[in-house]
Every structure is written in structure tokens, then in C-alpha cells.
Structure 1
């Protein structure tokens, strides 16, 4: 299993489970859940999301510059420059949006696997590291700050724009960048709270299911 590309399989059906004892089950469960938590809210995932956001912001900056070029130039050279900038911007925006959407779909699969593996059993001591409190806090704080900056750029800056000093292209550029920041922050906050709900519901919430193995190691029938 590749930690960065492949998701672990779901737990096997009850009728074909072959763990020799509860300790083996808990070991496999802890390993898989550790991988899944890292894939979901690891710091590397936060950095990757911000990288895609930076690429999208770069692309929109090029598109906004193209709009400004169209507004300010009245010759063929300015028009050609504007088209080139718009194409380069689209080449940055489109793949970044696609990869973010793919990542969101992957997160949905990860959450289903987290539920399936987490509900196999309970291990209060071993599950402490799965709470990833530090990583979740980093997601919440950075994403909340990004949401605040994005909303400011989307609402306050356009509201204070005055013609003719502030052109439509400049306002569109700022609003687009603000919208990118707000959406990225919203994704980050949603992921952090989704992980927190999983911790409360699966790891420390309702009483665990009847163990697959008895205390003496014999399988329940």
C-alpha cells in the first residue's frame, strides 16, 4: 500500500475475518487508522491544499491582469498580451480546481473507511494518537484566518471601490482572490470539524461494539 496514492481496503466481512486474536485485530486497526488519519488531516495534506490554492490564485491573478490589459490597451499588442495572460491563467486555474475536487472526493472515501475500521473495536489508550489534536488545531486556525481574509477581500474591498480609480478589472481581481481564499478556508475548517466529529462519535462516543474476541482470546460465535 502506498501511503500517498492508494487507500487501504475496507475491513473484511465478518464471515471471512481471520485475525488470530484481539491483539492482532487492534494492531491492524491502529495501523490502518493511522494511515487514514494522516491522509485526511495530516499537515502534508494542509500544505498540499494551500499549494493548489496558491496555483489557483496565481492563475486568477494572470486572468485579472489580462482583464486590466483589455481595459487599458487599445492596440493589437495589448490585445495579444491579454489573450496570452488569460490562457496562462486558465492553465493554472483549471488543474488546481480539478485536483481540489478530486481531493474532496478522496476525503469522502477516507471518511467511510475511518468509520468502517474504527467501528471494529475500541482501544482508548491506542486511539489517543488518532485524535490528531495538533493537526486539527492547525487546520482550524489557518483555515479560519484564510476565510476571514477571503471574506474581507470579497465584501469590504468591493464595497469601498470608487470609480474611476478602481476599475472593474481590479475589483474582479481582488474579489476572485478573496473567493479562492474563502473557499480554501471553508474546505479546511470543514475537514477539521469532520475529523473532530469522527473522534467523538467513533473513538470516544458511543459504547464500543461487542469485541470480536473474548478476553481469553477465543472468538465469539
Structure 2
């Protein structure tokens, strides 16, 4: 993976702020907030999120498939293939979990900095560009779809695929793992989309200017 560029820094403390005028402060504010908003909701960020979710499912497909195959292992050669499948699955699964968790952590850091820059001043015209209705809707719809599929996998699929003559405990474990791999990223995406919508509403609808000394709203 290519090296990630660092996030825009938070605004300087009040006691060392040295902008020559409000226009310069607003320009730096708009630049930082635009970049942070892109890091949170940009199309590239959404694509990376979906790629890691798909990678997680692929890894679990190999590892969980090994659990299912254990029910039918009858010889050492079959056991060897099962172990190789599990090893490949873990080799794909672990990085996917790591980078998804890392993405959530970076999103939290970016959102905190976005709040700090928002609290610096008020610019209704410029801030209106941060609403990103299309990208917010894309995050919301795709994350809801992940949760819906995860719900079906965890509830409906076991009822149809597990039972006498069908799958056993290995199949149940595989389906539960696949469901969690959809549910957890889906919930993270839903929280992000709803949080950004509420932030944009507060940002463009707040009644009066906020100074840097007035603090910033707490993240939700």
C-alpha cells in the first residue's frame, strides 16, 4: 500500500493564532475542512472501505470454509488441505480486520479535527459545500445494505442451511462469522453517515458565529 499523507493539523491554540485577517483564517479553515471532509466521505474512502469489507469476507470464506470442511475430513490429506485453507484465510482476514479498524480510528481523529476547525469561525456559504448529500447517501445506503445482508445471514440463512442432512455446527460458525463481518463494518458506516448529516445540519444552521475561544461541539 502507498504511504498515506497525514491529516491536516488542528487549528492552533487561541494564544498563538496569527492570521493577518478574517479572510485568511476563513481560507485556511475552508482548506482544512474540505480535506478532512474528503478523507471522511470521499469516493476513494468509500471504495477502500468496500474493498476491505470484501477482503474480510474473502478471508473468512477460506478460514470459515475450513471449519465447515472439518466436519467431513476423513484422512490426513484432506486435513492438510483444510489447514492450508485456514492459513490462507487468516493471512487475508487479519490485514482486512486491521485496516478496517485503523480506518475507524482515523475517521474518529479526522472528525475531531473537523469539529475543531468548524468551531474556529462561521462561513455559511463555504460550509454549505461540506454537506455532500450524494456521498452521505451512498455511505448510508451501502452501509444499510451491509447490515441488512448481515441480518439475513445471521437469522434466515442458518434456518435454511442448517439441520438434518444439511450443514452442522461448522456451517453455523461460518455463517455467524460472515454475518459479523457485514454487521460491524455496516454499523460503522451508518454511524459515519448519520454523524456527518447531523454535523452538516448544525454547521449550516447554527444561529450565530462561534469564536475560537468558545470551544467546539463534542463529537457524537
TM-score by structure 2 length?
0.89
Q: Which residue of 2 aligns with 1:188?
A: 189
Equivalent residue pairs, number: 211
How far apart in 2 are the matches of 1:208 and 1:36? 21
Secondary structure of the structure 2 residue equivalent to 1:115: helix
Alignment of 1:59-70 (within 5 A): 59-70=59-70
Alignment-derived partner of residue 76 in structure 1? 76
1:55-204 correspondence runs (5 A): 55-160=55-160, 161-204=162-205
Equivalent residues of 1:68, 1:169 under 8 A apart: yes
Contact 2:14 2:212 in 1 (8 A): no
Distance of 1:172 and 1:211 partners within structure 2 = 52
> CA separation in 2, counterparts of 1:66 and 1:211?
56
SS in 1 for 2:144: helix
Distance 1:107 1:211, change over 3 A: closer
Structure 1 runs of 4+ aligned residues shifted over 6 Å read none
Within 2, Cα distance between the matches of 1:118 and 1:95? 34
8 Å CA contact 1:69, 1:81 repeated in 2: no
- Structure 1 counterpart SS, 2:124: coil
Question: 2-side partners of 1:16 and 1:110: how far apart?
Answer: 22
Q: Is the 8 A contact 1:115 1:202 kept in 2?
A: no
Structure-1 separation of matches of 2:175 and 2:203: 42
Gaps of 5+ in 1: 213-221
In 2, the alpha carbon distance for the partners of 1:72 and 1:148 equals 31
User: CA, structure 1 residues 4+31, in 2 after alignment: closer, same or farther (shift >3 Å)?
Assistant: farther
CA distance in 1, matches of 2:106, 2:4: 12
Cα 1:211–1:7 change in 2 (3 A) is closer
Cα root mean square deviation, aligned: 2.0
Q: Is the 8 A contact 1:151 1:179 kept in 2?
A: no
Deviation of residue 206 (structure 1)?
4.7
